[in-house]
Amino acid sequence: MTTEIESVLVENRVFPPFANLVKDANISGMEGYRALCDEAERSPLEFWGRLARENLVWDKPFATVLDESQAPFYKWFADGEMNVSANCLDRHLNTPTANKTAIIFEADDGQVEHVSYKQLHARVCEFANGIKALGYKAGQRAVIYMPMSVEAVVAMQACARLGIIHSVVFGGFSSKSLHERIVDVGAVLVITADEQVRGGKKIPLKPAVDEALTMGSCEAVSHVIVYRRTGGKVAWQEGRDLWMHDVTAKQPSTCAPVSLSGEHPLFILYTSGSTGKPKGVQHATAGFLLWSLLTMKWTFDAKDSDVYWCTADVGWVTGHTYVAYGPLAAGVTQVVFEGTPTYPDVGRFWDMIERHKVSVFYTAPTAIRSLTKAAEAAPQFHPREYDLSSLRILGSVGEPINPEAWMWYYTHVGREHCPVLDTWWQTETGAHMISPLPGVTPLKPGSCTLPLPGIAAAVVDEAGDDVERGTGGFLVMKRPWPAMVRTIWGDPERFKKSYFPPELKGYYLAGDGAQRDTDGYFWIMGRIDDVLNVSGHRLGTMEVESALVSHELVAEAAVVGRPDATTGEAIVAFVVLKRSLPEGAEAKAIAKQLRDWVSKEIGPIAKPKDIRFGENLPKTRSGKIMRRLLRVVAKGEKVTQDVSTLENPQILDQLSQSV
Ligand code: 6R9
């Protein structure tokens, strides 16, 4: 294996597209790709206008494709009217797709439920009617805090049907994070479940909602709707709490979708920024759905016969675009999985691909890396032990996929006949931006290859000028695109500052470093700001630091990322306590206490892997924490950089000691 990988790096091996895919793909061959790119280049507005007319169902056609008058607050298809849920469900009702399975739901314990498009439409309508009957309407905000389930998709779709703006909060987040988001969006409704089930364990959800709603400033929330997943015991507030099945009971199974402006906000999803609290990334109706659907057709080459499976949770953007919306708009059959890849054993993913005959599989590098390790330890669960012949396309998202993981995925899961599509995109971009296309792009392990048609990606320097091939710089988008973030909810100034800094000529700044090779291929080099990427999830160093400092024992904390073989990055926290420096068992006990604290404050994914105690932190004379040095210390390397501006260089030795 290792020699294979070295040869990939040394020879820069290229995997040309498979002939069968070139022949049948929705975008066929490099000529097909170039033709679309040229069309977009000639007239971006005609290009997007054509695609929006051809791919979406409009209640009222748009006259204006793009309104740039208030750039960077771009408006797309604003004078047109449509409904996202109608575009995902109703459009299939009078077609053969109506009776096709929309969702194959597999529960943690292996129970399987098939829901057809017709049935899903009815369930969405019943729930939409139920929340409408409670008085909720377009423009209001609902927070969804649910496990992976048909019901979560139903809740999102029902909101979209009524124009209620949803904000999904990942079920792994704590009551405190949930509270912050409820307050920030000004939620009037919370939709949750009694418990979630993962890896054979029941994990309560409703208590976190109850707790969040006691933390203040949540008076606007008048109902909590609870999906009964396990029947576990929950506290109940009469008048406020309602069972989902009671809300839908006796409701008609049709509900007229509300016609909304193409710019009507569809959802708000929180993601980490470099400073301050998480950003409420707001997306809009038409542009988001258009790009979700087109990338399903282009990147995943969605076909009527596909069984598609994206393993992402609906709590992340991938679960929005590629579970709750894109696949439904495309009319494919998709797998929705409640559980974890390692339960009841580490072959769960491969077993599910075999049983459901999955043809398009989309997951994260962190899952691939941990399953690689697991398969080596337990060869009976190695993917080679399963019939994976249904697979035709593999995708990866969330962080750079290192060539070693790429090769394993390609060789053992794809059996050398499926392209591995390394899709680069962000919460803010709405859908794929830079990605290989299965019938077009020669693959290079470790590169997300080329921008999709219509996407003006580039690598520039501090002045916004293109850098030479082979030189690193900032990844930017030179032109707006329909699925772009519209604003940061409640903070338009921060939106402008974060994404459209004046020195970059009005380009969208992605926050990633990148370089292009001589073929024009993009290689992503990671975040340029203080944002961590743990198992493909974005976390701000500030968020973790704030959580640590809010603990009574902690005076000061600095957090950095360290490369980790499984999770991509691991969190290392440098902590100054209010008391004397602890040692031995006591240090261990405090470290554990702090880890649990962060887990409670933010969620288990934010738990520092490593905590180091010191009497101080390395600071410049102007008092800035020198994270650059802490990153070196975190990796266990010797600091060779110039430390002359450091106020207290000896502190680095102390901080090198693991607890
Ligand atoms: C979809 C999603 C976005 C950040 C992004 C980048 C990293 C995502 C990547 C990738 C290299 C890929 N990232 N996909 N880096 N190659 N294929 O993950 O959204 O949670 O907002 O994270 O993730 O750093 O800027 P989000």
As given in the structure block, the two tokens for residue 140 are 């209001």
CA 512 to ligand 1 centroid distance, Å? 9
pLDDT at 9: 41
Amino acid at 56: L
422 assigned ligand-binding residue: yes
Question: Chain-wide mean pLDDT for the chain?
Answer: 94
User: Is the model's pLDDT at 405 over the cut of 70?
Assistant: yes
Nearest to 495 by CA among 280, 317, 177, 276: 280
CA R_g for the chain: 24
Torsional class of 79: left (φ above 0), alpha (ψ -120 to 50), beta (otherwise)? alpha
What strands lie across the sheet with 487-488, from one edge to the other?
A: 241-243, 223-227, 189-193, 141-145, 165-168, 265-271, 279-284, 487-488
DSSP state, 67? E
Amino acid at 369: R
Closest-lying ligand 1 atom to the alpha carbon of residue 533 = 23
Closest-lying ligand 1 atom to the alpha carbon of residue 511 = 25
Q: Percent of the chain beyond pLDDT 90?
A: 83
* Mean pLDDT across 339-348: 96
CA 654 to ligand 1 centroid distance, Å? 34
Tens of pLDDT, residue by residue over 80-120, are 999 999 999 999 999 999 999 999 999 999 999 999 999 99
Please tell me the least confidently modeled range out of 121-135, 146-160, 548-562: 548-562
Greater pLDDT, 144 or 278: 144
User: pLDDT tier at 186 (50, 70, 90 boundaries)?
Assistant: very high
Cα(81)–Cα(66) distance, integer angstroms: 14
Cα(495)–Cα(53) distance, integer angstroms: 29
- CA-closest residue to ligand 1 atom 2: 426
User: Is the model's pLDDT at 3 over the cut of 50?
Assistant: no
Amino acid at 465: D
Tens of pLDDT, residue by residue over 480-500, are 999 999 999 999 999 999 999
Amino acid at 568: G
- CA-closest residue to ligand 1 atom 5: 426
User: pLDDT tier at 644 (50, 70, 90 boundaries)?
Assistant: low
User: Is the model's pLDDT at 1 over the cut of 70?
Assistant: no
User: Is the model's pLDDT at 27 over the cut of 80?
Assistant: yes
Tens of pLDDT, residue by residue over 412-470, are 999 999 999 999 999 999 999 999 999 999 999 999 999 999 999 999 999 999 999 98
pLDDT at 623: 65
Tens of pLDDT, residue by residue over 218-236, are 999 999 999 999 999 999 9
User: Is the model's pLDDT at 11 over the cut of 60?
Assistant: no
Q: Does ligand 1 come within 6 angstroms of the Cβ of 447?
A: no
User: Is the model's pLDDT at 636 over the cut of 80?
Assistant: yes
DSSP state, 385? G
pLDDT at 272: 79
* Mean pLDDT across 25-31: 98
Q: Does ligand 1 come within 6 angstroms of the Cβ of 317?
A: yes
pLDDT at 526: 78
Paired residues of 570 in beta bridges: 562
527 assigned ligand-binding residue: yes
Residues 603/591, Cβ–Cβ less than 8 Å = no
CA 447 to ligand 1 centroid distance, Å? 13
pLDDT at 275: 62
Nearest to 4 by CA among 321, 404, 572: 404
The SS3 call for residue 219 is coil
- CA-closest residue to ligand 1 atom 10: 399
DSSP state, 612? E
Cα(9)–Cα(366) distance, integer angstroms: 21
CA 556 to ligand 1 centroid distance, Å? 29
Domain boundaries, the chain: 531-655
User: pLDDT tier at 638 (50, 70, 90 boundaries)?
Assistant: confident
pLDDT at 652: 86
Cα(484)–Cα(291) distance, integer angstroms: 9
* 531-655 homologous superfamily: ANL, C-terminal domain (3.30.300.30)
User: pLDDT tier at 624 (50, 70, 90 boundaries)?
Assistant: low
Nearest to 155 by CA among 205, 211, 202, 200: 205
User: Is the model's pLDDT at 522 over the cut of 90?
Assistant: yes
pLDDT at 373: 86
CA 524 to ligand 1 centroid distance, Å? 9
